[in-house]
Amino acid sequence: MSSVSDLDPDSLTPLYEQLATVLREEIDAGRITSRLPSETSLVQQYGVSRGTVRRAVALLIDVGYAQVSRGRGTFVTKR
């Protein structure tokens, strides 16, 4: 999986959009196939805030890449 070096805090693109793009690429490449990593894991791996992770995941949900299963986690939708 990618790491913090994939995100550019100096970019005009917000970090949450950058993170959502990285996660979409991971899904498209088949490196994330079922459940997304936990918020805590993503915070640690990418060095961003929990809010940034939540916005990135919400964006993935909005564009149909993921769906939430209450109490179970966030899962990649069948593509």
Q: Which residues of 43-55 are buried (b: 16+ CB within 10 A; e: fewer)?
A: beebebeeebbeb
**What is the per-residue pLDDT across 17-56, written as a single tens digit (0 to 9) for each?**
999 999 999 999 999 999 999 999 999 999 999 999 999 9
**Residue ranges per structural domain of the chain:** 4-76
- The β-bridge partners of 73 are 69
Say if residue 64's pLDDT is above 60. Answer: yes
Q: Give, in words, the CATH class of 4-76.
A: mainly alpha
Q: How far apart, in whole angstroms, are the C-alpha atoms of residue 31 and residue 38?
A: 15
Q: How far apart, in whole angstroms, are the C-alpha atoms of residue 20 and residue 56?
A: 5
Q: What pLDDT score does 6 carry?
A: 83
